[in-house]
Amino acid sequence: QVTVRDALNQALDEELERDERVFLLGEEVAQYDGAYKISRGLWKKYGDKRVIDTPISEMGFAGIAVGAAMVWLRPVCEFMTFNFSMQAIDQVINSAAKTCYMSAGSIAVPIVFRGPNGASAGVAAQHSQCFAAWYGHCPGLKVVSPWSSEDAKGLLKASIRDDNPVVLLENELLYGVPFEMSEQAQSKDFVVPIGKAKIEKQGTHVTLVSHSRPVGHCLEAAAVLSKEGVECEVINLRTIRPMDIETVEASVAKTNHLVTVEGGWPQFGVGAEICARIMEGPAFNYLDAPAVRVTGADVPMPYAKILEDNCIPQVKDIIFAVKKTLNI
């Protein structure tokens, strides 16, 4: 078993070793070994030029990283939390995402923006927002959101090797969680293709679509419902943009019911996009009931634990949504 933290560390180590153009920069990534110890040991191994501590200035170091990517270095830019990426959103969107198109393909920007996204525990509103819908909205970016250690390693490696800007949304509460990792995933050549969802559990009665930490909640809910005779198919999106809607459509054609689950806010969210795509496409004809969304509450995240728990989708909320859509 390998924790998500160690899987990310492994991916960074392997890519820094494989390609000398790859470098990591961000707050406390070097001498302190990373705020979450994702970059543990890398500064000692690769030195100041490859693992770079920056001042607390997201717009500044994101801009440096984007400029480096424009001259074919491959920066990995760490935000201590994606909430702070709002300081740098001009660089992420206006500089990184749009340059390839505006230069008619002559300037690529091979950069990865990564760090923890969404709610952690007891860190209140300014550290708890999910940016999947924000960044997923913008053409020119690829947006990935891993759940397991295999997702984290494979998607980070694929993101670093991609010639486009990639936003990699991790989850702080998953960092210490161990997952089984196949022998194949331990190899240095292992990548998870960007834009391909994964069916984590086969089922026949209802399709559950999720990304990041709520995938685990969906599997827990599916285990409870299975004892009551309801078999859920659980899809781990892995990539928000480009979205693998074909896998969702094929599942809905089989189960005839759809529930989406996410930690973000409901309005204009990832679930809203999935529901719209299903309604506009061929899978709509297979639905036996309206699609249902399970989301975070439509409020800034409260600090108090009991209120926080009520703002984040829980297993009981997913079970309730499944029973509602199946009318049981």
Catalytic residues: 58, 127
Identify the bridge partners of residue 76 per DSSP, sorted by sequence position.
24, 112
Q: How far apart are CA 211 and CA 187, in angstroms?
A: 24
SS (H, E, C) the chain: CEEHHHHHHHHHHHHHHHCCCEEEEECCCCCCCCCCCCCCCHHHHHCCCCEEECCCCHHHHHHHHHHHHHCCCEEEEECCCHHHHHHHHHHHHHHHHHHHHHCCCCCCCCCEEEEECCCCCCCCHHHCCCCHHHHHCCCCCEEECCCCHHHHHHHHHHHHHCCCCEEEEECHHHCCCEECCCCHHHCCCCCCCCCCCEEEECCCCEEEEECCCHHHHHHHHHHHHHCCCCCEEEEECCEEECCCHHHHHHHHHHHCCEEEECCCCCCCCHHHHHHHHHHHCHHHHHCCCCCEEECCCCCCCCCCHHHHHHHCCCHHHHHHHHHHHHCC
Q: How far apart are CA 178 and CA 103, in angstroms?
A: 43
Q: How far apart are CA 258 and CA 77, in angstroms?
A: 36
What are residue 2's phi and psi, to 5 degrees? -130, 135
